[in-house]
Structure 1
Amino acid sequence: MANLHSHAFQRAMAGLAETSLSAEDSFWTWRDLMYRTVGILSPQDLAVVACKLYIELMRGGFGRITEFHYLHHRPDGQAYGDRAEMSLRILEAAARTGIGLTHLPVFYAHSGFGGAEAGIGQRPFLHSVEGFLRLLDDLRAPCIASGATLGLAIHSLRAATPEQMRDILAAERTGGPIHIHVAEQELEVSACLDWSGRRPVEWLLDEMPVDARWCAIHATHLTDDEIRRLAASGAVAGLCPATEANLGDGIFPAVAYLGRGGAWGVGTDSHVATSVAEELRMLEYSQRLRDRRRNRLADGPGASVGESLLRGAVAGGARAAGQALCGICPGASADLVVLDGSNPYIQAAAGNKIIDRWLFATEAQVVRDVMVAGKWTIRDREHPLEPEIDRALAKVLAKLR
């Protein structure tokens, strides 16, 4: 399974935003804490947090991470001596832990639709178009050397003007996937309507060359016409069910979207959850809660919900990560998950019921071993670097007190 959406640094703040500030707490109040966290983490800290996260994700059943990376600069917005410093720390963490990596440097320039000036807390994220394209060029050789796939992301329609987006798309030479946050929040939808007279996904499909290279992250709030058009575009809907629930975003219309044959996959975004089972279970349960029905995302009568979810997420995740092949077939990367056959729930199951037991009836510990690109990274639930990483992580997290 490729995890199609990650902000590694946000794992450091998981669990720290669960104190009520007011009855109107939302994504926008959570974002203020995220900005404060950004102001504390050094490049060395980021490498430690990312190493720990990537071990946790592999233990949760993921073999590849797609890093939507927008933490580029110092807290005051000044570039490091090497403008790729923070990206190189992500590549370092992936190489040390053994997880597969698709790296997506993010273009971010504004705080709102129409080119609104960015705020102080956003300074570490900002680039000019020229600076961003230079960053992509600087990262080409390191990504090749480390075996990572290089693509790009535009943070959102709020963070880039149409002209900037078109200039980047015309000049970029990565050939990799293109990701963007879109329609995550209702306030974002209304602001986009005020700015353009169109909804975010509607605008994106009208104005940009959206195709199978693209991944629309969240895409939570869609009309029936947007569902139809997004599914037909070949783009992947990048769903992060645990984070979307944590932030109160809303429920993606998965039943209707899958009914149109839309491609989709899952990511862990802010990493309040770190396992395949948690994300897929949350996705299915959100549809059940909305519809007051069971088994919403099965491929059809008699189909296993678990197998349907796993098959769809593996295929969409691979496409969003820029992998041409996925699954067990000639030429695909040997990324394998071994479930614990001594677990009584797994031991007593057969066929697709093994997958259903894994996703709906067991804890993350049922993943025993993980292989990435033919090398074992998790053996009997352990990673050889974890004790060392845990000691370093304790020092990093102490900064956030």
Structure 2
Amino acid sequence: MKIFAERILLADGWKSKQTLTVENGIIKAITCGKEINAECVGTVIPGMVNCHSHAFQRAFAGFSEQGSEGQDSFWTWRNVMYQFLATLTPEDAKIIATQLYIEMLKSGYTRVAEFHYLHHDIDGSHYESLATMAEAIFAASEQSGIGLTLLPVLYQYSGFGQLSPNDGQKRFINHIDTFNTLVSDCYQLTQKFSNTNIGIAPHSLRAVDKASLNSAVEHVRSLDSKAPIHIHIAEQQKEVDDCLTHYHQRPVQWLLNNCKLDQHWCLIHATHINAQECSDIIVSKAIAGICPTTEANLGDGVFPTTEFLAEGGTVAIGSDSHISVNPVEELRWLEYAQRLVKQQRALLATSQQPSVGQYLWTHTAKYGAQSTNSNTGELAVGKQADLIVLDESKLAMFAAKDKHVLDSLIFATQNNVIKDVMVNGKWCILDGQHPFEQEANEAFTELLNRVS
């Protein structure tokens, strides 16, 4: 396959009139000018990686916005979530994930890291196959076409001090030996489903113990030495306070002192960190996974993105609870939160790349790919052909020179300007449509009517 782009954002910057040769999902060559039989497109940018997703939560977006006289918080939201997931079957999980992943593709995500903790049957008993729920997620990724990094979640306790799980958590809980077996089973599924890989996700320091955490890391790294490891780490101030009470250390501080982090670790919601933790994360080369719309929706707080990036830190973005499924909105609010805190403008850029939009898109795509150990995130020879074609007629309504394209995309557009999406060398979205979109919408609507 050959694709001719009038202009394209390559790993080394904008280029005009380039032909990409794609074989077996990989960009084999990039040449100047239009080659014979090349398919013509307009403006091309790399696909975005979603570093943090809980697929089932897409189905209760909007169900948890009822106020409670100023007493609502992350913790009350969590109770609503527990009630919702209590009835979901494997087929329900597939329906929700398929709908979600199609929405992701249409908005520009080409790969997702699925932080998957809905493991067991409704009563908490194990399915005959430990990976039954996981296989539903794999099947959804296959039907939608999105790339998948599955992160089975290790969840053992309800709080620091190895507190017994509550009833709402019964579908999540695994002993470490069972969990490692589940990870092995999921690893086998990656041989069956293309464009997939696995890592693990110790849920949080409050939900796992040190010995099990180390065992899980050792096991998954025996399967894949670069397997991604993601963890919720400091989302809420209460979590930090409880960790200080139990471990006499802050969560990030404890993690850095007790685990060997590397560039394939991703610290999700490292929201409440101090200056020393900020510097130490950077030294460890771990990536900060930021989910601006969910963190705003849950009232989590604001990650110190300006300082973190200025010191050489790396970040990726995720849609988490899917109150929004739109990388443009995530990046817009990543910058806007800093503007509100600092009372300044255009903060997340560099002297080398003064365009905030271009810096944020290229940085988070690249490090999102690193957080998933996937050969994506940039358009270059040898990289997977995960790319987005923008709608020229819609772009024309905004500043559209190369240096302004991604600023316009992120800060000026209100409607989706993504026309076509390719994943692993295959078109998943053409003219803004997915071939299974109507079927997925109907199944999802029926599910919502049943569970609401």
* AA matched with 2:97: A
So what's the TM-score if we normalise by structure 2?
0.87
Aligned to 1:222: 273
Contact 1:307–1:355 (CA under 8 A) maintained in structure 2: yes
Aligned to 1:212: 263
Aligned to 1:109: 156
* AA matched with 2:239: E
**What is the CA distance between 1:347 and its match in structure 2?**
6.5
Structure 2 unaligned segments of length 5 or more: list them: 1-47
**What is the CA distance between 1:399 and its match in structure 2?**
2.5
* AA matched with 2:341: R
Alignment match of 2:204 (pick from 131, 141, 156): 156
Aligned residue-pair number: 401
Structure 1 position 47 matched with structure 2 position 94: yes
**What is the CA distance between 1:315 and its match in structure 2?**
1.3
How far apart are the structure 2 equivalents of 1:92 and 1:25?
A: 36
Matches within 5 A, 1:351-370: 351-370=402-421
CA distance 1:344–1:104, change in 2 (3 Å): closer
Residue by residue, what CA displacement relative to the aligned partner does 1:8-46 show, whole Å, maximum 9, x if unpaired?
A: 000000011111023121100000010011102111011
Structure 1 position 381 matched with structure 2 position 432: yes
How far apart are the structure 2 equivalents of 1:391 and 1:325?
A: 32
* AA matched with 2:210: P
Structure 1 position 139 matched with structure 2 position 190: no
How far apart are the structure 1 equivalents of 2:397 and 2:288?
A: 31
Aligned to 1:277: 328
CA distance 1:305–1:245, change in 2 (3 Å): same
Structure 1 position 33 matched with structure 2 position 80: yes
* AA matched with 2:223: T
Aligned to 2:124: 77
Contact 2:368–2:377 (CA under 8 A) maintained in structure 1: no
Partner SS, residue 96 of structure 1 = helix
How far apart are the structure 1 equivalents of 2:147 and 2:156?
A: 29
Q: Which of the two has greater strand per residue?
A: 2
Residue by residue, what CA displacement relative to the aligned partner does 1:231-271 show, whole Å, maximum 9, x if unpaired?
A: 11111100000000000000000001001111110000000
CA distance 1:301–1:101, change in 2 (3 Å): closer
How far apart are the structure 2 equivalents of 1:177 and 1:3?
A: 14
**What is the CA distance between 1:312 and its match in structure 2?**
1.2
Structure 1 unaligned segments of length 5 or more: list them: none
Partner SS, residue 263 of structure 2 = coil
Q: Which of the two has greater helix per residue?
A: 1
Matches within 5 A, 1:157-236: 157-172=205-220, 173-175=222-224, 176-236=227-287
Alignment match of 2:374 (pick from 323, 328, 334): 323
Aligned to 2:442: 391
Contact 2:117–2:152 (CA under 8 A) maintained in structure 1: yes
Q: What is the percentage of aligned positions where both structures have the same residue?
A: 43
**What is the CA distance between 1:325 and its match in structure 2?**
5.1
Aligned to 1:335: 386
Partner SS, residue 223 of structure 2 = coil
Matches within 5 A, 1:263-302: 263-300=314-351
Contact 1:154–1:160 (CA under 8 A) maintained in structure 2: yes
Contact 2:187–2:197 (CA under 8 A) maintained in structure 1: no
How far apart are the structure 1 equivalents of 2:448 and 2:250?
A: 39
How far apart are the structure 1 equivalents of 2:353 and 2:56?
A: 42
Aligned to 1:14: 61
Residue by residue, what CA displacement relative to the aligned partner does 1:291-350 show, whole Å, maximum 9, x if unpaired?
A: 110011011387000011111101110011112453111211100011100115456511
* AA matched with 1:127: N
How far apart are the structure 2 equivalents of 1:199 and 1:346?
A: 48
How far apart are the structure 2 equivalents of 1:301 and 1:216?
A: 27
Contact 1:3–1:65 (CA under 8 A) maintained in structure 2: yes
CA distance 1:82–1:302, change in 2 (3 Å): closer
* AA matched with 1:376: W
Structure 1 position 372 matched with structure 2 position 423: yes
Bigger Rg, which one: 2
**What is the CA distance between 1:352 and its match in structure 2?**
2.2
Alignment match of 1:97 (pick from 144, 169, 181): 144
